[in-house]
Amino acid sequence: MNSNHIVIGIFENELSALIAKRDLREAGIKANILREGGGVTLRLLSQAEGVRVLVPESQESMAKEILQARFL
């Protein structure tokens, strides 16, 4: 992933982030989930701060519309 990706949303848990990623990908947006660390303990700690979904900057406005329709 290169530097032209932005955080489009921070979710309470990985399931919510996966749903957002799926919705974005179904719309043709190349969304990814930012995971820090590989261990279970680190995953649980990173989820305490939220799970981040990233998209290319060029697709930011479309991604915001999709997530607002789904999560608001």
Which fold is adopted by the domain 5-71? Answer: Alpha-Beta Plaits (3.30.70)
pLDDT at 51: 92
Predicted local confidence at residue 49, as pLDDT: 78
- Convert the pLDDT of each residue in 3-50 to its tens digit: 699 999 999 899 999 999 999 999 999 999 997 655 444 455 555 678
pLDDT at 71: 78
Which residues, 6 or more positions from 33, have their beta carbon under 8 angstroms from its beta carbon? Answer: 14, 17, 18, 21, 51, 52, 53, 54
Supply φ then ψ for residue 31, to 5 degrees: -85, 150
pTM, two decimal places: 0.78
Q: Which of 35, 42, 31 is nearest to 14 (CA)?
A: 35
For residue 65 the two structure tokens come to: 């519309």
1 versus 67: which is more confidently predicted? 67
* Angstrom distance (rounded) from CA 39 to CA 22: 24
